[in-house]
Amino acid sequence: MNIMILSDQESKLLYEYYDPERIKDIDLLISCGDLPPEYLTFFASVCHAPLVYVRGNHDNKYAYKPPEGCICVEDDIYVYKGVRILGLGGSMEYIPGSANQYTERQMRARVRKLRWKLLWHRGFDILVTHAPAFGLNDMEDLPHRGFKAFLTLMDKYHPKFFFHGHVHANYGGKFKRKDTYGSTTVVNGYEFYVVEYPEGE
């Protein structure tokens, strides 16, 4: 299964210079946030594959204009062709009371509310977030600090992949496209990136 990850930055290559050949072999699109709803709607309309998403810290517009034809996986587990996808959007809270921003305690509370879904689905295969995990491709400043709750999830359920965004390629030396955490492959989906999900796993 070919999965295209989208996050944070609109791609001129995919959007302004759209060529259907570039996405013809994509089986699933996943947005990690901070993209205009119209951008996601475009891909949902031109690609045969479903598009699932979480919200980024700048996606307040989604509250009254959500992406059309897309599937929100916030605080949920969505199963596609047997692959279990868990979504937890938003970033670390740096402006108190702002939408799509959470303290570590609030993020842990969101995870606790998922316990029955996690039990029902017997875990998950892909973790989709906007923010990175703490100490794993994150940054030291509060707005770009990752969540320890994501490490706890990976420690317990050992997903095959962890997709996130939020840390941009133009932020300098902290950007890392791929990493590993235990048995989990970590991918920063900034702009776009394609990964192959092994069949039968």
**Looking at the predicted structure, is the pLDDT value of residue 199 above 90?**
no
% of the chain beyond a pLDDT of 70: 98
Is 0.85 surpassed by the pTM of this model? yes
pLDDT confidence band for 21 (50 / 70 / 90)? confident
Q: Quick one: three-class SS letters along the chain?
A: CEEEEEECCCCCCCCCCCCHHHCCCCCEEEECCCCCHHHHHHHHHHCCCCEEECCCCCCHHHHCCCCCCCEECECEEEEECCEEEEEECCEECCCCCCCCEECHHHHHHHHHHCHHHHHHHCCCCEEEECCCECCECCCCCHHHCCEHHHHHHHHHHCCCEEEECCCCHHHCCCCCCEEEECCEEEEECCEEEEEECCCCC
**Looking at the predicted structure, is the pLDDT value of residue 74 above 80?**
yes
